[in-house]
């Protein structure tokens, strides 16, 4: 079971109101229409939330806060990827004669509560609108920064098919999903969780 994995060929459908995703989709559509000279290669890497020591402040806040979103029904599964694994994909894309889009993500997909539990074993479930309002207030107070539409993304599962990156870039993420969270919380790579060299 589980949600269907999205390949690179899936339509780009950013959620309404999520400006970051809408801008990314707009750039991708422009690149698809752009007709460069034959020798120019265009590669588009598509990571989900990038975690690690340099993760976006809002993502760090979501992981460290003393509450998590309470959602009706089965919790959706999410993916993330370690920043250094994204850097390896960039290196591979530069070194190989590849073109087009490549999904990047760590495995396995997990519910947000499982990720949040890496920092807080006990936390208070709150309705998603309250969580979003709390983060918005923290942003206005200068305690957090970023588009709170990221929070809305916790309502929807997103599981990417990374087969193309593995096959054509030779890319394998070194940190699993839990390891990405640990790297974000500690500011360093938890090397004992690295599945590869």
Specify whether the CB–CB gap between 8 and 164 falls below 8 A: yes
Query: What's the confidence (pLDDT) of residue 4?
Result: 83
> Could you tell me if residue 96 is inside a domain?
yes
> Could you tell me if residue 7 is inside a domain?
no
> Could you tell me if residue 128 is inside a domain?
yes
Query: What's the confidence (pLDDT) of residue 190?
Result: 57
> Could you tell me if residue 72 is inside a domain?
yes
Q: Give how many domains the chain has, as a whole number.
A: 1
Along the 197 residues of the chain, how does pLDDT read in single tens digits?
A: 455 899 999 998 888 777 888 899 999 999 888 876 767 889 999 999 999 999 988 888 888 888 888 877 788 899 999 999 999 999 999 999 999 999 999 999 999 888 888 887 777 888 888 877 877 787 777 766 666 677 777 777 889 999 999 999 999 999 999 999 999 998 765 554 444 44
Q: Determine the Cα–Cα distance for residues 99 and 77; give it in Å rounded to an integer.
A: 29
Query: What's the confidence (pLDDT) of residue 83?
Result: 97
Query: What's the confidence (pLDDT) of residue 143?
Result: 66
Query: What's the confidence (pLDDT) of residue 43?
Result: 94
CA count, 13 A, side-chain hemisphere, 136: 10
CATH number of domain containing 66: 3.40.50.720
Q: Which two tokens stand for residue 192?
A: 């004992």
What contacts 160, CB < 8 A, 6 or more positions away?
5, 6, 46, 48, 79, 103, 104, 105
Task: Give φ, ψ of 22 to 5 degrees.
Answer: -65, -40
> Could you tell me if residue 4 is inside a domain?
no
> Could you tell me if residue 3 is inside a domain?
no
> Could you tell me if residue 8 is inside a domain?
no
Among 51, 56, 79, 87, smallest CA distance to 182 is for: 51
In this prediction the pTM is 0.84
The full length of the chain comes to 197
> Could you tell me if residue 53 is inside a domain?
yes
Residue with tokens 């360093």: 188
Query: What's the confidence (pLDDT) of residue 45?
Result: 97
> Which residues form the domain of 177?
19-193
């Amino acid at each position: 079971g589980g949600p269907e994995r999205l390949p690179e060929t899936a339509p780009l459908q950013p959620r309404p109101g999520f400006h970051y995703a809408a801008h990314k989709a707009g750039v991708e559509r422009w690149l698809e229409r752009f007709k460069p000279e034959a020798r120019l290669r265009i590669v588009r890497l598509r990571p989900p939330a990038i975690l690690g020591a340099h993760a976006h402040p809002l993502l760090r806040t979501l992981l460290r806060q003393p509450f998590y979103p309470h959602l009706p029904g089965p919790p959706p599964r999410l993916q993330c990827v370690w920043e250094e694994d994204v850097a390896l994909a960039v290196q591979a894309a530069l070194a190989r004669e590849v073109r087009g889009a490549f999904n990047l993500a760590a495995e396995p997909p997990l519910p947000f509560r499982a990720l949040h539990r890496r920092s807080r074993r006990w936390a208070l479930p709150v309705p998603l609108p309250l969580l979003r309002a709390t983060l918005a207030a923290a942003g206005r107070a200068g305690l957090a920064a970023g588009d709170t539409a990221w929070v809305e993304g916790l309502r929807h599962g997103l599981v990417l098919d990374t087969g193309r990156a593995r096959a054509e870039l030779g890319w394998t993420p070194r940190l699993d999903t839990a390891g990405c969270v640990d790297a974000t919380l500690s500011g360093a790579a938890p090397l004992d969780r690295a599945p590869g060299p």
